[in-house]
Structure 1
Amino acid sequence: MTALMSSFRGVLGGFANRLFVSPFAGPMGQSVRWKNLFEMHLRGGRPERRPQRKSPISGHPQMRGVVLKVLIKKPKKPNSANRKCVLVRLTNGKETVAWIPGEGHNLQEHSQVLVEGGRKPDLIGVKIRVIRGYWVLCGEYGSALVLLSLAGATDVLDGMIARHVPGQSSVLGTIIDPLADKILMSTAFVTLTYVHLIPVPLTVLVLSRDIALIFASILIRLKYMPADKKSWRTFLDITEPILVITPSLISKVNTFFQISLVCITLAVPTWNIECPYLPKLLWYLTAGTTFASGIGYAFSKTALRKLDDRSSSSLNQ
């Protein structure tokens, strides 16, 4: 008799669930199963989910703002030091509280800052942090972008003059020009990595390839120096070139991707461009071409080669 009643109760409960499937249907058309009619009437269906509040910088990896006030927040953990925060008015008009990482800071009212999403576990409700960092380090990305554009334009103009105007090519130019390019790009990558706009592994890869190329050039120069002239004075004498670096196609493509990555990374926070996938795509393209160009320089026989007397005399002229 007990088994018959339990089976009847199960059939009745299933019939009630199927009968009232439409008012209590789930988000994907899945029906809600209740144990019995009493539970169905007691709970009254699936409770609605509370809408979650969006972040003030939703849709942007970083955003600029102006400090309205410097605050001190007490963390929820006992015996913890107070956290320094700032009330920031963002470029989209919203106001939010951001915490400042590190020990000391010089932020005051009306200071321009750059913020990004970053929750502090012991601060309730604070989900944004200040990116601490003249120009890139202080959030002046527009000025840095203009400076980088001018440097790139003058570099292209200098190369065109050296190739097409007779008498304008020199040994000093063949050494200083690529060295200046390396210093410019290395500085840009290091500063953008410091403010968390470029990942650390990518910057390490780019710097490692450049440092390895410089050391390889030094070793080859020492190897092909005449035995009777080996001295620091002869080694540092740039009027007597011993080797030449011939950039490959993949190296030129890598240079293009590096410049594009730096420019796009600076342009995104400058104009608040909502395109989070383009910088990440350039990360992978830059990393792949950097690794490929490094392998090419390591195994190529023409990338780093010794100059013969005819080539050396033509460069000196």
Structure 2
Amino acid sequence: MNLPNKITISRVMLIPIFLIVLLVPFHWGTLTIGSWSLPVTHFVAALIFIVASCTDWIDGYYARKFNLVTNLGKFLDPLADKLLVTAAFISLVQLGFTPAWMVIIIISREFAVTGIRTIAAAEGVVIAASQAGKVKTWIQIIAISVTLLHNFPFAFIGIPFDQISLWIATAITLYSGWDYFIKNKEVMLKSK
């Protein structure tokens, strides 16, 4: 297993740590600035989530720079992204920060795309993440991060960026799912 794949695996391994810090009722105090407040657990969970998300860029950089792109990496990288983002979104629903219907749309798209990848793999074809899919992932990461940080720093200027970014993430998720199906429809047609 090469370095980029090990970095991708580390992203998956950070997920349970992120979930424990975010969801177990630790009492680590609260950060407060004026009327804005943030539980320290949410701050630490946001940092873990951001670090885990950044490994997506790092593994891709090393894979391309040192020509270490593998079929395993093409499979693991988007899977690790899906696991991290899904865990975060479901946690945000549990905490009451994100509407469930948005998360259902986002997760449904991920299942559908994974289904296409499974069909393609059965045909001996590995489908790498598309550019629209990568943009979708980064917009989702921004939305999750800002939501975990209770709209910091936008709360100080009265812009509900956390909510705006969730709407944008949902819209780009729908678009990237449609784009993915259109670009890979021949894989589904061949499998009949």
SS in structure 1 at match of 2:22: coil
Query: Structure 1, unaligned stretches of length 5 or more?
Result: 1-132, 225-241, 306-317
What pairs up with 1:33-52 in 2 under 5 angstroms? none
Which residue of 195, 205, 226 corresponds with 2:95? Answer: 195
Q: Could you tell me which residue of structure 1 aligns to residue 22 of structure 2? A: 136
**What secondary structure does 2:69 align onto?**
coil
Shift, 1:263, TM fit: 0.7
Q: Which residue of 2 aligns with 1:146?
A: 47
Structure 1's 178 and 248: CA in aligned 2 closer, same or farther, altered over 3 A? closer
> Could you state the TM-score of these two structures normalised by the residue count of structure 1?
0.44
Q: CA RMSD in A?
A: 2.6
Residues of 2 paired with 1:303 and 1:141: CA distance? 44
The answer as to whether partners of 1:245 and 1:304 remain within 8 angstroms in 2 is no
Residues 303, 188 of structure 1: alpha-carbon distance in 2 compared, 3 angstrom cutoff:
farther
Provide the residue aligned with 1:207 in structure 2. Answer: 107
CA distance, structure 2, for counterparts of residue 154 and residue 218 of structure 1 = 24
Kindly state the Cα deviation for residue 248 of structure 1 after the two structures are TM-superposed: 3.4
Identity rate, percent: 25
State how far apart, in whole Å, the 2-side matches of 1:280 and 1:290 are: 15
1:280 matched to which residue of 2?
A: 163
Contact 2:139 2:165 (8 Å CA) reproduced:
yes
Deviation at residue 135 of structure 1 after TM alignment:
2.3
Q: Which residue of the partner structure matches residue 120 of structure 2?
A: 220
Mapped to 2, the partners of 1:257 and 1:247 lie a distance apart of 15
Q: 2:42 and 2:70 mapped to 1: Cα distance? A: 35
Q: C-alpha displacement at 1:303, in angstroms? A: 9.3
CA contact (8 A) 1:141 1:270 kept: no
Distance change (3 Å), C-alpha of 1:303 and 1:284: farther
Cα distance, 1:290 vs. partner?
0.7
1:298 to 1:269, Cα distance in 2 relative to 1, 3 A: closer
How far the C-alpha of 1:271 sits from its partner, in A, is 7.5
**2 CA distance for matches of 1:152 and 1:161?**
15
Q: Alpha carbons of 1:145 and 1:216: their partners in 2 closer, same or farther (altered >3 Å)?
A: same
Could you tell me how far apart the structure 1 residues matched to 2:107 and 2:49 are?
19
Pairing 1:268–2:154 present: no
Instruction: Look up the match of 2:65.
Output: 164
CA distance in 2, matches of 1:189, 1:291: 16
- The secondary structure found in structure 1 opposite 2:56 is helix
Checking the alignment, whether the CA contact within 8 Å between 1:197 and 1:265 is kept in structure 2 is yes
How many residues are paired up?
Answer: 154
- Paired residue type of 1:163: R
In terms of fraction of residues, the more helix-rich structure is 2
Q: Deviations over 1:8-51 (max 9, x none)?
A: xxxxxxxxxxxxxxxxxxxxxxxxxxxxxxxxxxxxxxxxxxxx
Q: 8 Å contact 1:190–1:203 — kept in the other structure?
A: yes
Letter in 2 for 1:160: Y
Larger RCO: 1 or 2 (CA < 8 Å, sep 6+): 2
Q: Give SS of 2:20's match.
A: coil
* 1:297–1:304 Cα contact (<8 Å) kept: no
How far apart in 2 are the matches of 1:282 and 1:208?
19
- Find the counterpart in structure 2 of residue 237 from structure 1: none
> What does 1:23-38 correspond to in 2, within 5 Å?
none
Runs of 4+ in 1 over 3 A off after TM superposition: 246-249, 269-276, 301-305
The Cα offsets for residues 52-72 of structure 1, whole Å up to 9 and x where unpaired, read as xxxxxxxxxxxxxxxxxxxxx
Unaligned runs of 5+ in 2: 1-18, 26-38
Per-residue CA shift, 1:223-276, capped at 9, x if unaligned?
x2xxxxxxxxxxxxxxxxx21224333322211210100110011277793445
Look up the match of 1:245: 127
Higher share in strand: 1
In the other structure, the counterpart of 2:83 is 183
Q: Name the CA shift for 1:190/1:303 in 2 (closer, same or farther; >3 Å).
A: farther
Q: Residue 126 of structure 2 aligns to a residue in which SS?
A: strand
Distance 1:281 1:157, change over 3 A: same
